[in-house]
Chain A
């Protein structure tokens, strides 16, 4: 290939790691299939009861700081997954809707382009990864994220006396001045991949890895898996006619797919 063509390919690969382009360097985007995995989550809003078990599980699994009442009042709570509540209509005909909001692991993530030090990047699993050690705290990723799911450590985290004993050893504790967000429990994914490798298998099987929120959801509203595997539960559920993605018009290509709530009383 000519120098220019080669340069263009390299440039494209640099711009969008994991994308595959045509052999003839036509620049046509094929798919995200170059990723090893494409971890995806579907959230069935018909099943979600808004119980916030996922929020608690996430807090415990990922050593998320408990900010305390004062910081909470200032709007500095940390919830990698949060339940958004929306009221529709006026009392007495008010309806309450829930939507769990977490990092959408966008394939075209705005936060990744803005970080000046590449502390947030797309890894080979199609995950939007955050390198805490590299973060310098510009907080621009949080501004660029339309889902508002990035949380900043305004202070050093403190756990009251016995709580510090129950920190998850697989997850680092973040210091002040660092941005953090949902990782799809990357420590569990890593572990599952290691097991798969130890077993001499090539790939992680469906259902072998579950983030804490998925594991804990009593209504099984959350399904997690690899959408590259057409047989996986997540692949099947994401083809549901109710499937949609939040703020899809922004072209962020989220990896979290919501299944619309069916309203019996509608229309």
Chain B
């Protein structure tokens, strides 16, 4: 089951991973600068314009009051789903292949949640009052509306964000300590703070292991609940194509699906650009590929169910919404989604496909494009065909919305790039657990500049 190269020693792990933190080439800075520049130019600048001008800058209109901002929100929340959730599931099922990839997967969770939270701000008409959605004591004795699925959302997302931040931080403490012992200068000071005085005693390891498993068990239902609740924003409405009981499992599966595809993309990048080829191997791609295949099948099944319920309901509104989705204005997008998320993933049946890196990268990106389309369609098609035909409409995203979507991607990349220079993006201590013990029992110690 161990795919790691048996020739890797403990010292290699330390050296490789600390090197990824302290040695920074010009390529990194250029990429970071581009990503940060794009974030400013494509996210913050259009948002600033929109704040000044009003939501009229977006393409939303009378029947379609929700648009790509909310689609991006679901997309980012979805992307956040696989990281911590997958890591937790694999942790409690003792799957050793998790160990090389879970740190970056969890980081993906964290940052996509942050981007998702920002998308909510962009989506709101008056984001400067967003704190009103939080229950805090005030002299007006005003509380948020506890019946609102949007409020459940606020609660679920903040809980998930807190939980996964603690989870990733706690799992990294021994690594911070390992890096602390091998760095000098300002980095050392930073890691001294971050490692919270970790010494590596048996008691500390014992407590860490206990707390880690505890959190892992806690986070799994949390992750499932988060996307169920996001789906209730839609399912609790009366909108024909949204008012469906299948939505909660549909969203959860979709989230894990797009999240797993996201992990494949990130794994590929780390392997390629951070030289983690020794740690992130074909085995990981193979396993993630199998997972993707299963998820794609479940996702397809739920999609068929959705069509069936719409058709079987026999009501004119449901039927109209269904026909519009399949053959209406947005139909090309719908069939694109089917192609990317239901048909293309069938390639994963072949082991050769699962273990080839570039095809896996292309497929993972295609799946996420398809999944973004899915989120867009849930909002776009459903809102433009509701009960009263007089209020039927059409929604086309404006330039501002498209730019902000690109900007949100750039923001995610920026955050992730900062992360890989601060957090060891492959877990040092857990990778070592999968390696044979060094014969002399003492790892080589070399301070790295």
Are A and B part of the same complex?
yes
Other-chain contact of A153, B54, B66, B394 (Cβ < 8 Å) = B54
A186 within 8 A of B: no
Other-chain contact of B154, A116, A147, A153, A179 (Cβ < 8 Å) = A116
B30 within 8 A of A: no
Q: Are A86 and B389 in contact (CB under 8 A)?
A: yes
Q: Are B56 and A137 in contact (CB under 8 A)?
A: no
Other-chain contact of B125, A118, A138, A144, A148 (Cβ < 8 Å) = A138
Residue of B nearest to A113 (CB): B147
Chain A residues, CB < 8 A from B150: 114-116, 138, 140
Residue of B nearest to A70 (CB): B56
Chain A residues, CB < 8 A from B56: 71, 74, 76, 154-155, 176
Q: Which chain A residues in 246-262 approach chain B with CB under 8 Å?
A: 247, 250, 252
Q: Are B237 and A110 in contact (CB under 8 A)?
A: yes
Q: Output the residue of B63, B149, B233, B391 with the most chain A CB within 10 A.
A: B391
Chain B residues, CB < 8 A from A71: 56
Q: Are B388 and A84 in contact (CB under 8 A)?
A: yes
Determine the distance from Cα of A252 to Cα of B127 in the docked complex, in whole angstroms: 30
Chain B residues, CB < 8 A from A156: 54
A136 within 8 A of B: yes
Other-chain contact of B124, A115, A136, A148 (Cβ < 8 Å) = A136
Q: Are B125 and A177 in contact (CB under 8 A)?
A: yes
Q: Are A114 and B125 in contact (CB under 8 A)?
A: no
Q: Are B144 and A148 in contact (CB under 8 A)?
A: no
Chain A residues, CB < 8 A from B144: 116-118
Other-chain contact of B54, A139, A151, A154 (Cβ < 8 Å) = A154
Say whether chain A's binding surface is mostly helix, strand, loop, or mixed: loop
Determine the distance from Cα of A206 to Cα of B124 in the docked complex, in whole angstroms: 41
Q: Are A138 and B124 in contact (CB under 8 A)?
A: yes
Q: Which chain B residues in 55-89 approach chain A with CB under 8 Å?
A: 55-56, 59-63, 65-66
Chain A residues, CB < 8 A from B149: 114
Other-chain contact of B61, A76, A137, A140 (Cβ < 8 Å) = A76
Chain B residues, CB < 8 A from A113: 145, 147-148, 236
Residue of A nearest to B63 (CB): A148
Chain A residues, CB < 8 A from B62: 75-77, 148, 151-152
Determine the distance from Cα of A138 to Cα of B148 in the docked complex, in whole angstroms: 12
A134 within 8 A of B: yes
Contact A148 B55, CB 8 Å, known A117-B132, A136-B125, A138-B125? no
B123 within 8 A of A: yes
Chain A residues, CB < 8 A from B59: 74
User: 6 shortest A-B CB distances, which residue pairs?
Assistant: A137-B125, A177-B125, A75-B61, A176-B54, A154-B56, A148-B391
15 residue pairs of the A-B complex, CB under 8 angstroms, read: A75-B394, A113-B147, A114-B148, A114-B149, A118-B142, A118-B144, A136-B130, A140-B148, A143-B239, A146-B387, A152-B60, A152-B65, A156-B54, A178-B125, A250-B238
Chain A residues with CB under 8 Å of chain B are 15, 71, 74-77, 82, 84-86, 101, 110, 113-118, 134-140, 142-144, 146-148, 151-156, 175-179, 247, 250, 252
